[in-house]
Chains A and B, each alone.
Chain A
C-alpha cells in the first residue's frame, strides 16, 4: 500500500529525515516511534504531500506523492499534530466544510457526518462551536475529520499528544476500531512506547532522521531479551555495596542498576543465570524479599538501539522549520 524508498528531507542544511525506507501493507498498523524532533512529523508530511521530499520516493497506493499528489490526497486522511478545526465554526460546519472539498455528494456527506459524530459520541454537540470543546473532544473531531473521505490510508501524527489518560484510551480504542472495521491502513507516530506497543503491527524506531530498527513489537523486544537473556528485578531488604559488587563480578551478568535503596535491576545471560544470581546473594547473606522476571518494554529496546532514553530528548527540540513550531496555545491548552 505504501512504499517509501530513501526518503530524505533537508531544511537549509539540517537533515530532518535521512534516507528512510519502509513499506506498509494494506490493513496494517505501522508505527513510527521516536523522540520529538526525530523526523516523524516530517515523514508524515511528505507522505501526505504537504512537504516536498529533497530526495527519494514515496508512493501511496501506487501513486507518487510528488507526481500524482492529487491522487494520493484522495486516498489519505491526515490527523495532524495540530487540531485542524476552526474554533468559530460548529462541529457540523467544520466537517461540512472539509467534506465539501472532496466532491462527496451532499446527501452522502450529510449522513456520513452524522454517522461519524455519533461514532465518537459528539452527536449532541454538532451545533456547538468547536472553540468551546475540551481537548479530548477536539482530538476526536480531529480524527473523524480525517475520515470524511473514507480514506484507505490514515496518517496519524501523535494522535494522543496532550490528552488526559481517559481521552488517550478513547482515541486509541477508536483508532484500533477504524483499523479493524474498515480495514484502513494506519501509519501513526508516537513518542510513547506503550502506545506503539499497544496499537502497532510493526514499528520503525526512528532517531535523528534515520530508521534504526524495524520489526514487530515482539521481535523488537527480543533484541533485548533473547532466548538467552534474563531481565530480573530483585528486592533485597539489606542491600549493600558488597552485594552489588558480588553480583556485578558474576560472569553471567551484563549489567546491574540500582533503582532505589532496596531494588536492583539485572541484565544477565546464560541458562543458569537465575540460580547463580540468587545463590550469590544468599552467600552474601542478602535477604531476598521478591524476585520478578521482567518482560522487556520498548523503552528498553529504544535504549539498547539508540544508546539513549526516549525521554532524554523529549524536552529539548531539534532546530526545526517554521511549519513545525509548536504554538504556545497548543501546548497550554
Chain B
C-alpha cells in the first residue's frame, strides 16, 4: 500500500511536470532545436577526407636539369597536375623559393608547399634518390597532417610508377604484368570489420544520444526542483503527507520522458538526414538509455540537495557537464587521449553508456558483449542512489 501510493503520487508529479513542459512553447522549441544544433554543429565542423578540396599549395621547382637529359621534375609536375585535375584536391601556385612559400603561408595565401630540390634530375640520373620537400603549416595541425599524408601518397604512387619502368628496362623477365609486384610486393587494403560505409555520424550519434538523455536527467532534475523551491511550489508538495521520494521519483520520470524524446529525435535525425544505419536491436538501445538515466539520477539528486537555488544548481551542473561531454568519448575516441585523461574518462558513467550504445548501434552487439558496461552502469547507479536518498531526505527539511 505504501509503495503503491508512493508510485501513484510520483505519477501525479510526472503528469503535472509534463503538462507544464508541453504548455511551455518556447521550452518545446528549444527541446527540438537543441539536438538538431548539436548534430549539425559537430557533424559539419569535424573535418573528413572528402571535405578537403582546393587546398592552395605553392610549388617551387629548383631543379636545374642535367645537360640534354629531359628534366625529371617537368615529368613529375606534369603527372602531379594530371592527378590533381582529376581529384581537384589542390590549387597549385608557382613560387620561386622556400622563403616565398613561408611568406605565402604566413599571409595565409597558401596552405602548404612542395619543393623539388635543385639536383633532382642529376640525382635520378646518377642512381640516387631525388628529394621532394613537403612544407606544411604548423599552425593548422589538422590540415598539415592531411596534406602531408595526401602528398606522401601521391609521390609514393608516382615513385612506384617510375620504379616499375626502370625494372622493366633492367631485365627481360620483368614485364608490365609483374613489375608492380616486384617493386611493391605488398598490397595493403583497409576494410571495416562490418560491411557498409561508416561516417563520423555513426561514431557520434550513439554518444550524443546517451549524453542527451543522461544529461537531461542530471541537469533537468536539479533545475526543476531548485526552480520549484524558489517559486515556492515545492512547499505545496512537501506539506502533503507523501513520501519525499515520490517527489523526486515523479520528477525523474518526467525528465526521463523529456530526455527520451530528445534521444528519439536524435536517432530519427541521424537516420533520416545523416544516413546512419542501426545495426543492433532498437529495444536494447532504449534499455541502455534507461539504464543510463538510472545511473545518473543519483548524481542529479545529490546536486539538487546541495544547490540551494537555481543559480548554484546551474553552476554545479556546468562544472560537471563539460568534462563529461569531452571526456566520455562522445565526440572524440578516448583512445586518442593521454593515459591520465583516459583514467578520468574511465571514472565517468557516460563513457560506459556511450561505449555500450556504440557497440550496439554500430557493431550490432548483443547483451553478452556489453556486460562490463552494464555492470558498471548498474553499479554506479546503485552507489549513487544509496548516497542520494539520505542526502536528499536531509536536505528537504533544513
Residues in A lying within 8 Å of B, measured CB to CB = 48-52, 69-71, 73-74, 76, 78, 80-86, 88-89, 93, 97-98, 100-103, 129, 145, 149, 321-323, 325, 327
Contacts and interface: CB of A to CB of B under 8 A. Distances in A.
A101 B233 contact: no
Interface stretch (B16-24, B204-212, B278-286): B16-24
A51 B397 contact: yes
A102 B16 contact: no
Given A101-B12, A101-B240, A89 B231 contact: no
Given A82-B232, A88-B24, A101 B242 contact: yes
A145 B242 CA distance: 16
17 contacts: A49-B239, A50-B239, A51-B397, A74-B241, A76-B239, A84-B236, A86-B233, A88-B19, A89-B23, A93-B19, A98-B240, A101-B241, A103-B5, A321-B398, A325-B230, A327-B230, A327-B231
Contact of A70 (B232, B241, B398): B241
Nearest to A145: B236
Given A89-B19, A100-B12, A101-B9, A83 B232 contact: yes
B77 interface: no
Nearest to A74: B241
Given A83-B232, A97-B16, A323 B397 contact: no
A82 B24 contact: no
Contacts of B240: 73, 98, 101-102, 149
B391 to A, nearest CB: 15
A98 B16 CA distance: 10
Nearest to A82: B232
A24 B358 CA distance: 64
B324 to A, nearest CB: 27
Nearest to B228: A86
A76 B239 CA distance: 8
B235 A102 contact: no
Interface string B360-398: 000000000000000000000000000000000000011
Contacts of B309: 322, 325
Could you tell me the dominant secondary structure of chain B's interface residues?
Answer: helix
B227 to A, nearest CB: 10
A80 B230 CA distance: 13
B329 to A, nearest CB: 37
A73 B397 contact: no
Contacts of B12: 97, 100-101
Interface in B348-364: none
B89 interface: no
Contacts of B24: 88
Given A76-B239, A323-B229, 5 more contacts: A48-B235, A80-B232, A89-B20, A101-B9, A101-B241
A85 B228 CA distance: 10
A52 B397 contact: yes
Nearest to A48: B239
A100 B236 CA distance: 12
Nearest to B312: A322
A129 B242 CA distance: 26
A146 B394 CA distance: 25
A199 B239 CA distance: 25
B91 interface: no
B237 interface: yes
B308 interface: yes
Q: Which of B20, B232, B309 has the most CB of A within 10 A?
A: B232
Interface in B308-353: 308-309
Given A82-B232, A327-B231, A50 B397 contact: yes
Contacts of A89: 16, 19-20, 23
B93 interface: no
A129 B397 CA distance: 30
A103 B241 CA distance: 9
B239 A78 contact: yes
Interface in B25-43: none
A51 B15 CA distance: 27
A76 B235 CA distance: 13
Contacts of B308: 322-323
A50 B235 contact: yes
B239 A51 contact: no
A287 to B, nearest CB: 57
A78 B235 contact: yes
Contact of A51 (B19, B242, B398): B398
A83 B233 CA distance: 7
